[in-house]
Amino acid sequence: MDADHRSRHALNTALSRLLHPLFRLLLRYGVSYGAFEELARQAFVDVALDHAGIDGKKPSISRISVLSGLTRKEVQRLTSPGEPAPAGDQHNRAARVLTGWVRDADFHDAHGQPRILDPEGATGFAQLVKRHSGDVPARAVLDELVRVGAVARREDGRIELLERAYVPSQSVVEKLRILGTDVADMIGTIDHNVVRGASDPRYQRKVVYRSMPADALPAFRKLSAKQSQLLLEKMDRWLAAHDLDNPPDQPDLPRARVGLGIYYFEEPAAAEPPPGDDK
């Protein structure tokens, strides 16, 4: 088996494993294979349009047809202008307020930590909302943050931060948006490392134990959540300190979307590692 055939086999195996949890989710929400196939066709053509050109030129309908295996008529249909897709990486207003509370020194105490806020005032909650979320009622943002357990109203009327991250535990829509962004980011990192990992690697590691006693899991969940949060907050402080506007004399300096993600996983122990898994 030559190297190209081995790579194709490894990719097919990886795709099969990737699609299993995805299809489990699609079945749960009643998404048919036909609907998935249409989305896959559109995504395939969109990616070909952006990345399959030659000498910097957009690829032709015929070239996309050859690369994708779709007919020219089908490619023409999929490249015709339609309704713009909604932005998938837009933080909602409540998340922006929460981030502002964590990062903005005007809303910190003497130790540099997010302080308990008065509802009004120059550095109160209403001002926090105005600064970081624009023209939206502070009460609406507060109600949402209380709903997801990120903040609490104290008996004295002041508002206390409980969680540094906006995690909408009751919002299926927000969780599904995370699926679209976080998994795409991870695949993008793996693709980068496949192509340029030898010269310009991006960090991609995990630690796995395949037969951990079940009674040890609660302690590890707690430990991993605490340590992961501390690391993310440290990285966030570094990024915030370096996220500066371009200087006036160099307004066109390149910019980049950058970040670091951590996730926890758990499943029943298997007798043998699945095919293609790491050892």
> How many CB atoms lie under 10 A from the CB of residue 73?
10
What pTM does this model have?
0.66
* pLDDT of residue 166 exceeding 50: yes
Nearest of 243, 225, 244 to residue 235 by alpha carbon: 243
Residue 274 — pLDDT band, cuts 50, 70, 90? low
Mean pLDDT of the chain: 86
* Residue 187: per-residue pLDDT: 93
Nearest of 264, 255, 175 to residue 222 by alpha carbon: 264
- pLDDT tens digits, 222-237: 999 999 999 998 998 8
CATH of 93-161, one of 3.60.21, 1.10.3470, 1.20.140, 1.10.10: 1.10.10
* Residue 81: per-residue pLDDT: 73
Q: What mean pLDDT is predicted for residues 233-244?
A: 88
Is the Cβ–Cβ distance between 159 and 152 less than 8 Å? yes
Q: Where are the domains of the chain?
A: 8-85, 93-161, 172-204, 207-279
- pLDDT tens digits, 169-221: 656 777 787 888 899 999 999 999 999 989 999 999 999 999 999 999 999 99
